[in-house]
Amino acid sequence: MIIKYINVQCSMCEKVSSQKKVLSYSTLGTPNLDLKPNGSITSIASSLNKCPYCHYTNYDISQTKALKGFLEELEYKEIVNNKNLSEDAIKAMLMQYITNYFRDYNESYKWAIRSSWTLEDINEKEMANRYKEKATDIFFNSIFIKNLTMLTQAIDTARQIKKFDFSSKMANNTKKLLELCDNLVEKEKHQIKVLKYIEELCINKDSDKHNILESYENEVN
């Protein structure tokens, strides 16, 4: 691993600190099914800066301008002041908290997973499992839902080019996943009807274009 130290001014508290910058690294061994590296020769949170004064954490603490309110949140302070945690775990957990606070769910999911890894490394298994639960909640209730319209579009596009078996299976499986999600709004509930309608069109080998209103009418009938 090649690293260098640079002086960085925090964009939150405006104080200067020395931060480690990783220039290159490698890993050894085959990753786990959850993609956790085995035999990593650099820390999981090595890509993050953490201000030693206000504890703001990000990829580059000098460039990010954001509201400072989260620095005073109880959960944020509890992470910072937990003496049982490694520096890696603290950085990963703070990054997860910050990205979730600003609703960057892709990053929040990633750092929930990485937080669980750093916690496993220090035998904090119960806390690691809580972060794994956070990760699954974020994925299925935020990321999956956010990309649902595009996924439904792709499934119906496959139907239109007569990939009926593929489209039918994708519609059915996506519908089942949706039904497992919590707190669905009306728009997302209707996606279940749309997917069900696409599945029926596939069964009938129908590759014609159809509109969303038809899925409502089909449900009534």
Cα–Cα distances (Å) from 51 to 4, 42, 102, 108, in that order, read: 17, 20, 19, 19
Domain ranges in the chain are 2-145, 147-220
CA–CA separation, 212 and 187 (whole Å): 12
Inter-residue contact 25 to 41 (CB < 8 Å): yes
CA–CA separation, 150 and 216 (whole Å): 19
pLDDT in tens, the chain (221 residues): 667 889 999 998 999 999 987 766 666 667 788 888 776 545 678 889 999 999 999 989 998 766 677 778 888 899 999 999 999 999 999 999 999 998 999 999 999 999 999 999 999 999 999 999 999 999 988 898 888 889 999 999 999 999 999 999 999 999 998 888 777 778 788 889 999 999 999 999 999 999 888 887 766 55
Inter-residue contact 178 to 192 (CB < 8 Å): yes
DSSP 10: -
Residue reference for tokens 């319209």: 149
pTM for the whole thing? 0.78
**Of 24, 111, 101, whose CA–CA distance to 59 is shortest?**
111
Interacting residues of 106 by C-beta distance below 8 A, sequence separation 6+? 143
